[in-house]
């Protein structure tokens, strides 16, 4: 908790309503490293590098900024205006990294169009420090819940890079000389095209670095189990009731195919994610850019990331709509649905160990109960299905955000990208944990599988071609009513001989077409 005395700031009269001036307030939001005894005018304590504050200004007036921070007045103003959610709601690190990549690319391209090479080089070096992540914790305090265009995060990046570049060149932090956050770092750009560009860069990189490796790991593990279990015949189930036989390998082949298709769905989204809005500036016209700027920036981003980014063919669409993000989120949602089905099947097949299906055994990773000694639970299945549920919820939010592009700009950008990135990370991480701590250790309980197989009444389906559906149904219903076996009941009813039953009712012959 931090207590502040509200007072108007010089040149910033509108920031504090008149009715609140002079009143003490308790602030419970996230105000990074601000001393609890400071006032609203941003006195800063606990300096790590330099003590005290400096004066910086924006179009609303002057604010005090901690000397040990590279951000400037617009970042401070955003911290004060959007105390929503706390540190856990900060702008995702992949977005900040993507901004660094974009700003570096823009500086290099702007140099071709006349930006002083010394300034461009300093901006590029500062951007490298943003890309590496070393500046994230201390200098990027803003939360997701800000302006829907991401303007404050764009300016946060501009201010950090500008001040770091000034420092590299031996200047004074906050002076905006010789590097200006708007005139130089943001040259030929607008928040309206830089933020969606960062959204796409971050999403594509995280798909390649986190999601696809996790999904491929899961696919490989499921294919291995498919091969391992291919000769184990078990009873099938439809409507959660007994059905005709299949192999455990065939059952696992469905799981593997779901994940393989999921990987394809994600990859099929990427061509639209690779299209970058940079060069559209405010509304998509490209005002204040130069011919070729958009294409050159996309080429630079592609060079830095080793991914095939291109300039968006229609910048108006790239700013006003984020259908590509909704599409990617939809693919993630489909993967989540697949995972929910697979993990639920696995935990039900492993139910027991004595009073459930018990056809497979899962690794025993930790005690399952604080009161029932010896209990072990399918915790990896539970974790990954919770992830699946969260991803489905994230997709709802992304869908709402995507549907709210108004005229020339969608203003749900930070919420959309944060949910997509969260889904990517959760799915990638949970897939790896599920493989390492569950799938690779799954074992088939052959004795239990065989017992359930031969107790099933649905083996009677093999008799349909020989005695007809009605007689086969009579055998099954009578056997169930009398608690008898299919064979004994068939012989009792006189529908076939023992030799015929043994010849026709063979589970190993019921695994595919004749």
Active-site annotation, residues: 239, 369
Contacts of 423 (CB under 8 A, 6+ apart): 329, 332, 333, 336, 390, 391, 394, 395
Angle formed at CA 196 by CA 419 and CA 72, multiple of 5 degrees: 95
Residues contacting 100, CB < 8 A, separation 6+: 127, 128, 129, 130, 131, 157, 161
Mode of pairing for the β-strands spanning 53-58 and 310-311: unpaired
The neighbour count for residue 105, using CB atoms within 10 Å, is: 27
Are 256 and 222 spatial neighbours (Cβ–Cβ below 8 Å)? yes
Spatial separation of the C-alpha atoms in residues 44 and 141, rounded to whole Å: 14
Residue 353: cis peptide before it, omega within 30 degrees of 0 = yes
Alpha helices in 274-374 (DSSP H): 293-305, 315-320, 323-349
* Residues in a beta bridge with 225: none
Residues 219, 267: Cα–Cα separation, whole Å: 15
C-alpha distances in Å from residue 57, one per residue of 74, 181, 428, 512: 8, 12, 42, 75
Decide: 187 and 111 in contact? Cβ < 8 Å.
Answer: no
**Which backbone phi and psi does 33 adopt, to 5 degrees?**
60, 30
Q: Using CB atoms within 10 A of its CB, is residue 181 exposed (0-12), middle (13-18) or buried (19+)?
A: buried
Helix, strand, coil % in the chain, rounded to nearest 5: 60, 10, 35
Please tell me the distance from the alpha carbon of residue 11 to that of residue 481, in angstroms, as a whole number.
88
Cα separation of 97 and 228, whole Å? Answer: 42
How far is the C-alpha of 457 from the C-alpha of 472, rounded, in Å?
10
Q: Phi/psi at 288 (nearest 5 deg)? A: 75, 15
Rounded distance between C-alpha atoms, residue 12 and residue 424, angstroms:
41
445 close to 229: Cβ distance less than 8 angstroms: no
How would you class 366 by CB atoms within 10 Å of its CB: exposed for 0-12, middle for 13-18, buried for 19 or more? exposed
Contact 200, 220 (CB under 8 A): no
């Amino acid at each position: 908790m931090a207590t502040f005395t509200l007072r108007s700031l010089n040149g910033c009269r509108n920031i504090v309503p008149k009715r609140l001036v002079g009143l003490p307030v308790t602030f419970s939001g996230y105000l990074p490293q601000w001393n609890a005894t400071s006032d609203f005018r941003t006195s800063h304590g606990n300096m790590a590098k330099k003590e005290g504050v400096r004066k910086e200004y924006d179009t609303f007036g002057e604010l005090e900024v901690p000397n040990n921070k590279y951000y400037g007045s617009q970042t401070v103003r955003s911290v004060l205006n959007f105390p929503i959610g706390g540190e856990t709601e900060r702008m995702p690190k992949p977005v900040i990294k993507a901004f660094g990549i974009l700003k570096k690319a823009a500086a290099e391209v702007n140099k071709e169009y006349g930006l002083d090479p010394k300034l461009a080089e300093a901006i590029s070096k500062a951007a490298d420090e943003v890309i590496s992540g070393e500046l994230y914790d201390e200098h990027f305090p803003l939360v997701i819940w800000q302006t829907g265009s991401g303007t404050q995060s764009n300016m946060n990046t501009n201010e950090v890079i500008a001040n770091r570049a000034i420092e590299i060149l031996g200047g004074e932090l906050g002076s905006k000389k010789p590097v200006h956050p708007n005139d130089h770092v943001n040259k030929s750009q607008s928040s309206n095209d830089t933020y969606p560009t960062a959204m796409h860069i971050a999403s594509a990189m995280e798909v390649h670095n986190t999601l696809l490796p996790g999904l491929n790991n899961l696919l490989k593990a499921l294919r291995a189990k498919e091969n391992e279990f291919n000769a184990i015949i078990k009873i099938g189930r439809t409507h959660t009731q007994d059905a005709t036989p299949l192999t455990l390998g065939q059952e696992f082949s469905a799981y593997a195919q779901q994940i393989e298709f999921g990987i394809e769905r994600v990859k099929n989204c990427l061509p639209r994610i690779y299209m970058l809005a940079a060069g559209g500036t405010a509304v998509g016209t490209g005002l204040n850019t130069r011919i070729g700027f958009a294409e050159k920036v996309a080429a630079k981003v592609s060079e830095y990331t080793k991914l095939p980014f291109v300039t968006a063919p229609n910048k108006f669409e790239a700013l006003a709509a984020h259908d590509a993000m909704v599409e990617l989120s939809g693919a993630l949602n489909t993967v989540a649905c697949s995972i929910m089905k697979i993990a639920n099947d696995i935990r039900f097949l492993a139910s027991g160990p004595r009073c459930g299906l018990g056809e497979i055994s899962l690794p025993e990773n930790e005690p399952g109960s604080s009161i029932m000694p010896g209990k072990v639970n399918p915790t990896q299945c539970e974790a990954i299905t919770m992830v699946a549920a969260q991803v489905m919820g994230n997709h709802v939010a992304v869908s709402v955000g995507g549907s709210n592009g108004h005229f020339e700009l969608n203003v749900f950008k930070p919420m959309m990208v944060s949910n997509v990135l969260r889904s990517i990370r959760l799915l990638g991480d949970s897939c790896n944990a599920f493989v390492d701590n569950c799938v690779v250790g799954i074992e088939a309980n052959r004795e239990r599988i065989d017992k359930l197989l031969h107790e099933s009444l649905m083996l009677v389906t093999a008799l349909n071609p020989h005695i007809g559906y009605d007689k086969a149904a009579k055998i099954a219903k009578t056997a169930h009513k009398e608690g008898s076996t299919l064979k004994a009941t068939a012989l009792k009813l006189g529908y076939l001989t023992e030799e015929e039953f043994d010849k026709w009712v063979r589970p190993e012959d019921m695994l595919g077409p004749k």
